[in-house]
C-alpha cells in the first residue's frame, strides 16, 4: 500500500491569503491541529495550532506566519509504513501528500490512518488472539503458520514486537476461529511460550461494537 491510496480531499487546504480566523474555524470544523497551505497546487507548508497560540490579531493572513513544522509531507509513492512513522514521530493530525513536482494531492488524516490500521489488523473479524514469546533467533513464521494451518485455521493478521536489551520477541496472531485450545496445545508441544489467549465470544462481540462506534466517530 502506498500513500496515494489513502489520500483524501475532504479537508480543504489553506491559501496564504486566508486569515488566522479561517485557520481556527477550519481546524475546529475538521477536528485537526494541522492544515496544509497550498497556492496554485504547490504545497507551501503545514500550519499547526501551536503556530497560532501567541497571535492576537486573527485578521492576519496565513502567509505572514513562520511555520514550525519541518518537512511535513509524504511523497505519493512512499509506503504506508512511512506515513505511520511520520504520524508517530511528529504527532501530526494530517500529513500532506505531494507528487514529484511538489504538487499537492491531498492529505492523509490520522482518522483515515486509524481506519486503515484497524482494517489490516482484522479488528472487526471474529476470532481468537494468541500471543507467543520466542527467542529472536527462533523466529520462524513458516513453522508457526504450519502449526495453525494444520488445524484448518487461518492467520488473519500478525505483528512482531521486540524489546530493548532483550533477545525475546512477542508475536501476536489474530486467527479466524474463536476456539483455539488445540492450537494452543500444539504450540506448547512445540515448546513455544504462550503468553496469552484472548478468545471470549462476548469480548469479541464487545470489541466489534467498540470498533463500529469508533469508525462511526471517525467518519467525519
Q: What is the pLDDT of residues 53-91, one digit of tens each?
A: 888 999 999 988 888 777 689 999 999 999 999 999 988
Same-domain check for residues 114 and 126: no
Q: What is the pLDDT of residues 21-54, one digit of tens each?
A: 999 999 999 999 999 999 999 999 999 999 898 8
Same-domain check for residues 92 and 146: no
Q: What is the pLDDT of residues 88-135, one digit of tens each?
A: 998 899 999 999 888 999 999 999 998 888 888 888 888 999 999 988
Same-domain check for residues 159 and 108: no
Same-domain check for residues 49 and 91: yes
Same-domain check for residues 176 and 196: yes
Q: Which domain holds residue 67?
A: 3-118
Number of domains in the chain: 2
- Answer yes or no: is 220 within a domain: no
Q: What is the 3-class SS of the chain, one letter each residue?
A: CEHHHHCECCCCCECCCCEHHHHHHHHHHHCCCEEEEEECCEEEEEEEHHHHCCCCCCCCEHHHCCCCCCCCCEECCCEHHHHHHHHHHHCCCEEEEECCCCEEEEEEEHHHHHHHHHHHCCCCCCCCEEEEEEEHHHCCHHHHHHHHHCCCCCEEEEEEEECCCCCEEEEEEEECCCCCHHHHHHHHHCCCEEEEEECCHHHHHHHHHHHHHHHHHHCC
Q: With a threshold of 0.75, does the pTM exceed it?
A: no
Same-domain check for residues 172 and 77: no
pLDDT of residue 20: 94
Amino acid at each position: 500500500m502506498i500513500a496515494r491510496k489513502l489520500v483524501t480531499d475532504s479537508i480543504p487546504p489553506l491559501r496564504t491569503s486566508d486569515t488566522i480566523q479561517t485557520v481556527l474555524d477550519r481546524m475546529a470544523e475538521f477536528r485537526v491541529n494541522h492544515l496544509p497551505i497550498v497556492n496554485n497546487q504547490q504545497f507551501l507548508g503545514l500550519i499547526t495550532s501551536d503556530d497560532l497560540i501567541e497571535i492576537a490579531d486573527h485578521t492576519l493572513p496565513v502567509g505572514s506566519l513562520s511555520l514550525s513544522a519541518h518537512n511535513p509531507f509524504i511523497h505519493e509513492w512512499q509506503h504506508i509504513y512511512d506515513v505511520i512513522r511520520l504520524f508517530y514521530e511528529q504527532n501530526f493530525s494530517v500529513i500532506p501528500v505531494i507528487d514529484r513536482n511538489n504538487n499537492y494531492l491531498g492529505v492523509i488524516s490520522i482518522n483515515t490512518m486509524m481506519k486503515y490500521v484497524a482494517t489490516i489488523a482484522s479488528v472487526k473479524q471474529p476470532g481468537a488472539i494468541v500471543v507467543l514469546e520466542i527467542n529472536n533467533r527462533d523466529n520462524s513464521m513458516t513453522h508457526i503458520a504450519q502449526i495453525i494451518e494444520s488445524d484448518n485455521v487461518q492467520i488473519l493478521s500478525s505483528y512482531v514486537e521486540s524489546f530493548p536489551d532483550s533477545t525475546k520477541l512477542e508475536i501476536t496472531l489474530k486467527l479466524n476461529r474463536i476456539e483455539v485450545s488445540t492450537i494452543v496445545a500444539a504450540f506448547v508441544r512445540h515448546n513455544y511460550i504462550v503468553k496469552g489467549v484472548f478468545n471470549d465470544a462476548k469480548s469479541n462481540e464487545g470489541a466489534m461494537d467498540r470498533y463500529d462506534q469508533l469508525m462511526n466517530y471517525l467518519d467525519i
